[in-house]
Structure formats: C-alpha cells, structure tokens
Amino acid sequence: MWSRAPVMRANNPVFVPSGSHDAVWERAVDVVHRFRFEIERESRIDGVIETRYKTGSNVLEPWHPESVGLYERLESTFQPIRRRVFVRVIPADGGHLVSVEAFKEIEDLDGVAATSIGGATFQHDRPLQRDLNLVVGQSRPSGWIPIGRDLRLEQKMSECMTKALDGR
C-alpha cells in the first residue's frame, strides 16, 4: 500500500570549506533549531551536539519539519515515533567535516492501555459501584524500540547545513 521510496544517500559527513570553527558551529546549531530539536548537550571542544528526543510530527502538523516525507508523517500519525539527532563538527584540512546522525525509535507498550471509550462512565448493565478510581492508565512506563537511522532526516539536515554555510 504505502511503500517507502528508496533514499539516495547524501554525503555524510559533508565537507565545509571554512576556516572559522565558530561560524560552522553556529550554523550547525541554527539548523538543529530550525528542525525544532531541543539541544540536550553541546560541546564545542568535543565537536558534538546531542538533541533531546522529539516526538515525530503527524500529517496534521505540517509546520514541524522533522518527519520528512509523507511516509514518515503517516508512520508518526498511526504510532508513536521519536527521533534524536547527533551532529559532529570535525576540523579537517581546509575546513570542517559536519556529520548528522538521526535515530528513530517506536513505542513499545506493555499491553493494551485501559483507554476504552466510555470506560469512566456508569454502566447500565451492572449495579452502581463506589470505586472512584475508574480511570486507569498504563501499568508502567512505555519502552522504546530502536528502529534504525532516519536517512531522510539526515539528508535534509545535511542539505540545510550546506545551504546555511554556503550562504554566509
């Protein structure tokens, strides 16, 4: 039905001809923010930017750019997906190498959550119960299963990184 088109892998890491480490670093941070990821850890000395997990946007949220393409948006619409991005800025001869790695995870529920429609209302076929805790959530927190790298997001972020650094 909905098949994923093959991804043409972009150069990752991307070579950026620039002498200023600070300029490359600031553009990398700008691109991470443009995709609306919150930065969890940033180290210029190590050359690493790590983001917090971000829940994938669905088809009703076109203003969030981290779900690249219709397939990714449909996938995030029907099941919880989250992404995390790692950006590395590495000094090289005549410039810098900038690599982007995006990882996806899918939520793994313990079992069926008690969220049936009308579960908190009175039942007509049972006698009145005095239990005031009818609304129940999950028995324990959800787990997450890694499902690999998001190559489309990596490619899109690498393209934005190149454009941002070319347009200085």
58 occurs within a structural domain: yes
pLDDT higher than 90, residue 109: no
CA distance 34 to 57: 14
6 occurs within a structural domain: no
30 occurs within a structural domain: yes
Whether the CB-CB separation of 129 and 108 falls below 8 Å is answered with: no
Report how many domains make up the chain: 1
Nearest to 106 by CA among 83, 129, 137, 132: 83
Q: Which position has the higher pLDDT, 128 or 33?
A: 33
Average per-residue pLDDT in the chain?
Answer: 79
54 occurs within a structural domain: yes
27 occurs within a structural domain: yes
pLDDT higher than 60, residue 102: yes
What mean pLDDT do residues 128-139 have? Answer: 57
Q: Residues with Cβ < 8 Å from 163, sequence gap 6 or more?
A: none
Q: Which structural domain, as residue segments, surrounds residue 160?
A: 14-115+130-166
Write the CATH number for 109: 3.30.530.50
CA distance 68 to 52: 18
97 occurs within a structural domain: yes
Q: Which position has the higher pLDDT, 75 or 52?
A: 52
pLDDT higher than 90, residue 87: yes
pLDDT of residue 1: 44
1 occurs within a structural domain: no
- If DSSP codes are grouped into helix, strand and coil, which group holds residue 135? coil
Q: Which position has the higher pLDDT, 152 or 12?
A: 152
5-63 pLDDT per residue, tens: 555 555 778 888 877 888 899 999 999 999 999 999 999 989 999 999 988 887 887 77
* 114 token code pair: 């008690």
